[in-house]
A and B are shown apart, each in its own frame.
Chain A
């Protein structure tokens, strides 16, 4: 197919062609950037937490007043929960991965380090923490009962031992064995790494760079507000959830027990904004593609109407229907290819500006090219119907009105 006649036609009709090209360019620039946001949220949302997600639920517990026997009360609650049929283990903690509460601090290799080596989420757990959360230990061990003492949030102190995630271990000790080494996370004295867990993801709050960096510290967390984490046997969560809250209120009514929340609900809540934003952006992107396609259909229809006589003449001179079809498709390909190139440049340019001024992720050139191909295919599809109508222009039209 010779493109020269197409180009000379386009020269006569610059504005219409420019409108289509600009539309395609803008659409591509916007969907590339929106797509990168969606992709980032999707990556965050699909990251496993490292916990036995299917069988865990949690309840918040807040005591009324400042009970002097806080430790004993929490122990009694835990004993009662662990005794419930169907419960694997239970623990009282300050927070757990994806719970929505984050507590974080610097993880250092030296005392009083000027710049922290990494930032870590901090979870205070007892010796039951491993089983209650279903964390996977890849090296070393979890805390023993002897290591667990009272941990007051107001008196931050060093623990004799800590368990860290594999990701944090790699960051702190890139060349070697993390097990048995000393770190400084909660206090001024060295804390020995006694175990490494495969994964524990915080989800948000610390910047995604640190999302997989977590430190578990042994302790009975001394606060009137605690999270109770309960792990059940498969399939028994519903029954245990109902029983657990009732059992706690039997022990004491002078407290506020939150509704038991399955882990999946914590996860949903944690990512609610991300999910909603993704859906919103996805909807806008799809609408944009649809509207761009509609615009292409509309303008091509116009051009077909304007060139009926020209088409008739070509048909009379021997052009086949497929030639007419190919003409419109080639014309559209030329216009949208220019639009796509401009769009790729604009999209990447806008992305550089956005990453500099707003918390925005980089668009990868590979993704934007895929986006450009999708837009090209879509506009080829959009041309199909008007072009088919053009093929039905009778050759006899050429003879009329001359």
Chain B
């Protein structure tokens, strides 16, 4: 019977090609627009480090409002010394120049952190290992480099143990990370959405501060600041990112209590005259607050789904038109003994047959939409690693098709019900 209904559906769709094409296009556009935005939103909302994100926290201490999302160097160092969390690291990102005798110097992204960084963020190693506590304390010139940079500099040998010149200083390579490119770069979104991916060089925090590694371009200072003219590291300016790992909810509670005490003790005379504020957001909460650009994206999301709803209303109207035009045919079927249920099934099959090509059109438009999103990010300057954010995987493709068929059938619910209420006798009389 189902085969017969499918056959009937094709016959009826062929009878009014213009209407069919319009319906396929309308639903296809709706699906395409909403799936494009949904895929992008989903990529940005992905748990960047599954299983670990509820254990990573950002301690914030300040008197300002809103709370800056960074700490001062002084607070970060004092907090580091307490060793209250299972693991902890202050950090900041910068840019260094790789110089070698036989090549044109080139810049690389660098991250200054303590050795806990690698365990906290589960950075995989291809060879070697993170530096030691001693390196952190003594500000040794050691680095961990990415597989990418290692292969570029030492294509035929293991880079561990080799020396690399970064912005005029010699560093010993102690480890090479395996391919690791978290997108978005959740631990520091940088200037945009953090689509740049991970840095190529990691070095001890103390080393970076000693060698005066600058933050990329001009430094950004928070509004709340109070400069004392001392050295680089002691500027009372909010610029250090601080992460702690707290394995349990109890540990997180304890740490927050500790943070209040810590803040009270470190209330330096003259510096913080207003009541202190403390916060300890976890990774996902922090990330949600950080992503500023996707506000536009969220608005686009709402617009896209509004578009989908309009498309579905539209499809419902067209479907209503189609079934009403065929009231006579349906009346004949009813008169010949088809039940209401049979008519419903026939109409649902017919709409599903429209839904499938609409889904394919939607899929094609989604691919096109994502390509334009990629182009958008390229222009915005974060060319690397956008592929992952805006690629459509098998699951998403299946979702698109399922959504298309569900949406079509949903929009057809009322028209189908109306069609099944056709009065056979009345229809026969008018013919």
Contacts and interface: CB of A to CB of B under 8 A. Distances in A.
Interface of A: 15-16, 19-20, 22-23, 26-27, 29-30, 33-34, 37, 62-67, 94-95, 100-106, 112, 114, 116, 119, 153-157, 186-188, 223-225, 254-256, 268-269, 272-273, 276-277, 280-281, 284, 287-288, 291-292, 294-295, 298-299, 301-302, 305-306, 350, 354, 358-360, 401
B385 interface: no
Interface residues of B, number: 70
Nearest to A23: B313
Contact of A299 (B232, B298, B317, B418): B317
Nearest to A93: B218
B381 interface: yes
A19 B376 contact: no
Interface of B: 19, 22, 26, 29, 33, 95, 97, 99, 105-107, 167-169, 211-212, 214, 216-221, 223-232, 235, 237, 273-274, 292-293, 295-296, 298-300, 302-304, 306-307, 309-311, 313-314, 316-318, 320-321, 324-325, 372, 375-376, 379-381, 414, 418, 430
B299 A354 contact: yes
A26 B230 CA distance: 59
For the complex of A and B, the 3 pairs showing the least CB-CB separation, nearest first, are A65-B168, A154-B232, A295-B314
Contacts of A295: 26, 313-314, 317-318
B295 A358 contact: yes
A104 B220 contact: yes
Contacts of A94: 217-218
A66 B26 contact: no
Contacts of B414: 15
B379 A284 contact: no
A399 B325 CA distance: 22
A93 to B, nearest CB: 9
28 contacts: A15-B418, A19-B317, A30-B307, A33-B299, A33-B303, A62-B107, A65-B99, A65-B167, A101-B217, A103-B221, A106-B224, A153-B214, A155-B230, A157-B227, A157-B229, A223-B214, A268-B379, A284-B307, A287-B29, A291-B314, A294-B26, A295-B314, A295-B317, A298-B19, A299-B317, A299-B321, A302-B325, A354-B299
A256 B105 contact: yes
A284 B227 contact: no
B97 A302 contact: no
Contacts of A291: 26, 29, 310-311, 314
A26 B95 contact: no
Contact of B274 (A33, A114, A288, A299): A114
A155 to B, nearest CB: 6
Contact of A112 (B218, B226, B304, B317): B226
Contact of B218 (A23, A95, A106, A187): A95
Given A23-B314, A298-B317, A105 B223 contact: yes
Given A223-B214, A280-B372, A294 B314 contact: yes
Contact of B310 (A157, A188, A288, A302): A288
Contact of A280 (B227, B230, B237, B300): B300
Q: Which residue, of B107, B212, B228, has the highest number of chain A Cβ atoms within 10 A? A: B107
A288 B33 CA distance: 11
A154 B236 CA distance: 11
B295 A359 contact: yes
Given A156-B229, A359-B292, A287 B106 contact: no
B376 A16 contact: no
A306 B105 CA distance: 77
Given A116-B223, A157-B229, A302-B325, A19 B299 contact: no
B235 A156 contact: yes
Contacts of B219: 103, 153
A64 B221 CA distance: 25
A302 B316 CA distance: 13
B214 A188 contact: no
A327 to B, nearest CB: 19
Given A225-B214, A287-B29, A154 B324 contact: no
A225 B169 CA distance: 17
A157 B169 CA distance: 28
Given A15-B320, A65-B168, A269-B381, A277 B95 contact: no
A292 B317 CA distance: 10
B105 A64 contact: yes
Contacts of B224: 106
A83 B167 CA distance: 30
Contacts of A276: 372, 375-376, 379
Contacts of A294: 22, 26, 314
A291 B95 CA distance: 50
B238 to A, nearest CB: 11
Contacts of B231: 154-155
Nearest to B99: A64
A95 B217 contact: yes
A112 B292 CA distance: 29
Contacts of A156: 221, 227, 229, 235, 237
A299 B307 contact: no
A155 B314 contact: no
A216 B218 CA distance: 14
